[in-house]
Chain A
Amino acid sequence: MSDPQSKVQFQDISRNDLDRANASDYVHQFPKGLNKKIVQRISENKKEPSWMLDIRFRALETFEKLPLPTWGPDLSKLDFKNIRYFSTASENPHAKSWDEVSPEIKRTFERLRIPEAEKAVLAGVGAQYESENVYHNLKKEWDDQGVIFEDFDVAVQKYSDLVRKYFSKCVPILDHKFAALHYAVTSGGTFLYVPKGIKITQPLQAYFRMNSMNQGQFEHTLIIVEDEADAHYIEGCSAPKYGSQSLHAGCVEVFVGKGAKMRYSSVENWSKDTYNLNTKRAIVGDHGRMEWIGGNLGSGVTMLYPCSILVGNYAQADHLGVAFANAGQNQDTGAKVIIHGKNCRSKIVAKSLSKGGGTSTYRGMVSVSKNAQNAIVNVECDALMLDDHSLSDTIPHIKCENSTASITHEASAGKISEEVLLYFQSRGIDEEVAKGMIVNGFLDEIVKTLPLEYAAELNRLIELEMEGSIG
């Protein structure tokens, strides 16, 4: 457990800590735009095995062939030619100690409270800056038990067979245009391997930071939780604001073994000029359990629908999501649950907030296949609009081929109740503080599943979004 003396002070974090860029010298900064040569150079730079380069080339071809999605937010202004697909700022990537990280970059992560959190509450930390990890470390206790927590680029070299066995087997290259783009230019990310029966009691964290203008980040996270093992992995992300587009197309693949349990939490807080087009998916075996907990606060456009494929019997998937769309933001988020096993269960709780003319959409899919006997799925989506000109939408899609399934869908959408606001005021609480408390209360069910420090961080980020909310 955490030592109260070393509490991480996320509640002091300011918008400036997140949105401000820092000066840094680049070791490699490839020209903007995408072609076969760029892809080849990325691979050469990493001295990758040839099977990786083959995947990249196939992915690039696929990317060029596939159209943009015909549904969801408008992506027509995203200019692929104006994105830089690879940059590294560190002479010494993959450091094992913060002392080896260049002072400028280290300061960036200190502002984001990462080393502090590592000391206090985490089993391991990875820190990615632009295209590569600058730091990666796992506490010895877990290393000794065979846990692998590595920078993805290092893992490709060091655990080539293991990575190759799972890589792109959960999210295929052909999945959609941005998955293909991701595989063509992927760089950095996390590899987590938890051996059979090992239960990691502290969370592991990776933090992804984009720093320069028009940057693209395409990290790959591959998580393998063997039978009866247990882990909690947290991702945080941010980028400074430039008023010019940047692109994040990450990919997360999770394999949950028999009776294993995996919790994946993320707080995505990219700057408001980022396109966050992310793919996250898990395959869950017999009696396995996958939990997705996500907070989406940043980005101009987000498209993110974590997916669980329950292939085993008695498998379980919980999806808890929070999306906050402020002025100029379009948060298109949701969940996908695909059930093939028997006696599986899933719960989806999605909470969305919109304010200042922002748009929040819940887009979800539940699919129960023919042989999936006795599936139980409960979907609950609640939307809270904080003013009259913000939008909220719910687009659920249910496909059920087995008559023994029980699927419920509950949705609510509304504004802050005047009576509730008046009640807070009748206790001497100012309108703005009251609205903040109402919003925190609305999200409480999800926030309380996060470790204390991250719950405080999420509350703080929401507080920042709520500033000036009196209409």
Chain B
Amino acid sequence: MLIIENLTAQYQQKPILKGINLRVGEGEIHAILGPNGSGKSTLGRVLLGDGNYQKTAGKILLNDMNFDEANPTERSKAGFFLSFQSPPELDGVSAKNLLLAAKKSMDSTFSSSFRLRKELTENLKKLHLGEEFLTREVHKGASGGERRKLEMVSLLTLNPKVAFLDEIDSGIDVDAMKAIAEVIHEFMSRGKKSIIVVSHTEKLLQLIRPTHFHVLCGGIIVQSGGKEILEAVHQCGFCHFADTKNCPLHHE
């Protein structure tokens, strides 16, 4: 269970998150919708503990672990996973070596690079990526779609408890979208998993079938509910929510 209470955070001294409250239970998929610049990606970064963002108040708990006392590595070891919106290129590091190091770090008894290789090859196949992605430099010269798919391979392989998937759907085709949705369902079916997904694509959200929807606007969640929210956004955009008195943008 991930609990976020009254979370405020800033980036370069500019307040971005202005009091987020969110509880994500096991077996739940939460979709976060919102206009550009509303703080969706910032939320992911603050959850990971990116030093460029300063948490100014509030609480983040993952199964009773207080994130204030943990660095990004420790948060990841505790079961939090962030898929990057634009993952960086890693010079001279292959996916196999990256994920082997990650596995070893998370489980000191893990040593079988053979087992990992087998698992990785299977996971790559699920996302229609060739075996060459095992040994290619991570994200080097890869397309946006390939990068996002490789992030999903990491998700399956590292098997976290809570995953924050930041715009995994931009720049991908319909087949890739289906594959990603299937991977998300497979991940959830492992049990005791939670996902927060940031997306603009109605098609992907229909495939993923989130259990909860939230609209993030001006750094706070202005509305939460079920899939009726997705329909409302689809019909009238975010203005409708921005116009509610909850939204800080309303008064500007």
User: Which A residues contact B (CB, under 8 angstroms)?
Assistant: 417-420, 422-431, 433, 437-438, 440-445
Produce 1/0 per residue, B83-120, CB < 8 A to A.
01001101111000111011001100000000000000
Cβ of B102 to closest chain A Cβ, rounded Å: 4
- Beyond A422-B50, A437-B101, whether A428 also contacts B93 by CB under 8 A is no
Given contacts A429-B105, A433-B105, is CB(A423)–CB(B90) below 8 Å?
Answer: yes
B84, B90, B99, most chain A CB atoms within 10 A = B90
**B102 is contacted by which of A427, A440, A443 (Cβ under 8 Å)?**
A427
From B72, B99, B154, give the contact of A425 (CB < 8 A). Answer: B72
Q: A428 touching B48 by the CB < 8 A rule? A: no
A423 to B72, CA, bound (A): 9
Task: Provide 5 A-B residue pairs closer than 8 Å at the C-beta atoms, listed in order of the A residue.
Answer: A427-B101, A428-B106, A429-B102, A437-B101, A441-B90
- Assembled-state Cα–Cα distance A430/B104 (Å): 11
B76 in the interface, Cβ–Cβ < 8 Å? yes
Instruction: Please judge, given known A-B contacts A428-B105, A428-B158, whether A444 and B73 are in contact too, CB under 8 Å.
Output: no
CA distance A431 to B72 in the complex (A): 9
**Is there contact, CB below 8 Å, between A428 and B84?**
no
Q: Which 5 A-B pairs have the closest CB atoms?
A: A444-B92, A441-B92, A425-B72, A428-B76, A427-B102
Decide if A426 touches B48 in the complex (CB within 8 Å): yes
A441 and B91 form a contact (CB under 8 A): yes
CA A429 to CA B82, docked complex, whole Å? 13
Minimum CB–CB distance for B54 against chain A, Å: 15
Query: In whole angstroms, what is the CA distance A443 to B77 when docked?
Result: 28
Add 16 more A-B contacts to A425-B76, A429-B101 (CB < 8 A): A419-B88, A422-B48, A422-B51, A427-B76, A427-B99, A427-B105, A428-B76, A429-B98, A430-B73, A438-B91, A440-B92, A441-B91, A441-B137, A444-B91, A444-B92, A445-B92
Smallest CB–CB gap between B60 and chain A, Å?
A: 15
B92–A426 contact, CB under 8 A? no
Chain B residues whose C-beta falls within 8 Å of the C-beta of A437 in the assembled complex: 93, 97-98, 101
Minimum Cβ distance to chain B for residue A316 (Å): 25
Which residues in B have their C-beta under 8 angstroms from that of A445?
92
Contact of B87 among A423, A429, A438 (CB under 8 A): A423
Q: Is the CB of A426 within 8 A of B105?
A: no
Query: With A and B bound together, what is the CA distance between A419 and B84 in angstroms?
Result: 10
CA distance A417 to B102 in the complex (A): 19
The answer, among A417, A418, A430, A441, for a CB contact under 8 Å with B105, is: A430
Chain A residues with Cβ below 8 Å from B36 are none
Contact check, A420 vs B71: say whether CB atoms are below 8 A apart: no
Report chain B residues within 8 Å CB of A428: 73, 76-77, 102, 105-106, 158
Q: Which residue of the partner chain B has the closest CB to A445?
A: B92
- Considering the complex, give the chain A residue whose CB is closest to the CB of B137: A441
Chain B residues near A430: list those with CB within 8 A.
Answer: 73, 105
Q: How far is the CB of A447 from chain B (nearest CB, A)?
A: 8
User: Does B52 interact with chain A (Cβ within 8 Å)?
Assistant: yes
Residue B187 lies at the interface, judged by CB distance under 8 Å to chain A: no
Report B-chain residues with C-beta under 8 Å of the C-beta of A420: 88, 90
Inter-chain contact A422/B72, CB cutoff 8 Å: yes
Complex Cα spacing A423 to B91, Å: 13
Partner of B88, one of A423, A427, A429, A440: A423
Task: From known contacts A433-B101, A433-B105, A437-B97, infer whether A425 and B91 are also in contact, taking CB-CB under 8 Å.
Answer: no
Assess whether A418 is in contact with B92, with CB atoms less than 8 Å apart. no
Contacts of A440 in B (CB 8 A): 92-93
Given A417-B88, A423-B87, the answer on whether A429 and B73 have CB atoms closer than 8 Å is: yes
Expressed in whole angstroms, the Cα–Cα distance for A88 and B214 within the complex equals 80
Which residue of the partner chain, among A426, A429, A442, contacts B81 with CB atoms under 8 Å? A426
Say yes or no: A425-B73 contact (C-beta < 8 A), given A433-B105, A437-B97. yes
- Measured CB to CB, the closest approach of chain B to A55, in angstroms, equals 45
In angstroms, Cα B93 to Cα A445, docked, is 11
Rounded to whole Å, the gap between the CB of A62 and the closest CB of chain B is 44
Shortest Cβ distance from A97 into chain B, in angstroms?
38
**B37-85 contacts to A (CB < 8 Å):** 48, 50-52, 71-73, 76-77, 81-82, 84
For B209-246 the 0/1 string (1 means CB < 8 A from A) is: 00000000000000000000000000000000000000
- Separation in Å of the A250 CB from the closest CB of chain B? 30
Residues of chain B contacted by A426 (CB below 8 angstroms)? 48, 72, 76, 81-82, 84
B249 to chain A, nearest CB (A): 29
Complex: A426 Cα to B97 Cα, angstroms: 15
**What's the nearest-Cβ distance from chain B to residue A319, in Å?**
19
Q: Closest Cβ of chain B: how far from A99's Cβ, in Å?
A: 38
In Å, the complex CA distance between A75 and B154 comes to 52
Chain A residue with Cβ nearest B77: A428
Residues in B neighbouring A425, C-beta threshold 8 A: 48, 71-73, 76
- A438 CA / B93 CA spacing, docked (Å): 8
**Which residues of the partner chain A approach B48 to less than 8 Å between Cβ atoms?**
422, 425-426
B81 proximity list for chain A (CB < 8 A): 426
User: In the complex, A92 Cα to B241 Cα: how many Å?
Assistant: 90
Interface centre among A429, A438, A443 (most CB of B within 10 A): A429
Q: In the assembly, what is the distance between CA of A417 and CA of B97, in Å?
A: 19
Contact residues in A for B91 (Cβ distance below 8 Å): 438, 441-442, 444
Q: Which of B114-162 contact A (CB under 8 A)?
A: 137, 154, 158
A427 to B159 CA separation, bound complex (whole angstroms):
11
Chain B residues contacting A431 (CB-CB under 8 Å) are 71, 73
How far, in Å, is A308 (CB) from chain B's closest CB?
A: 26
Specify which of A426, A430, A431 lies most central, judged by the most chain B CB atoms within 10 Å of its CB: A426
User: Considering only CB atoms, which chain A residue lies closest to B86 in the complex?
Assistant: A419
Q: Which of B50, B87, B101, B158 has the most CB of A within 10 A?
A: B101
CB contacts (< 8 Å) of B84 on chain A: these are 423, 426
B83 (CB) vs chain A CBs: closest residue:
A426
Alpha-carbon distance between A127 and B72 when the two chains are bound, in angstroms? 48
Contact residues in B for A444 (Cβ distance below 8 Å): 91-93
CB of B52 within 8 A of CB of A427, answer: no
In whole Å, how far is B39's beta carbon from the nearest beta carbon of chain A?
19
- What chain B residues lie within 8 Å of A441 (beta carbons)? 90-93, 137
Query: In whole angstroms, how far apart are the Cα atoms of A422 and B90 in the complex?
Result: 12
A437, A438, A441, A442: most-surrounded residue (chain B CB, <10 A): A441
A434 to B88, CA, bound (A): 14
Query: A418-B51, A422-B50, A425-B73 known; A443 and B88 CB under 8 Å?
Result: no
Chain A neighbourhood of B73, CB < 8 A: 425, 428-431
Residue of B50, B51, B98, B137 near A427 (CB, 8 A) is: B98
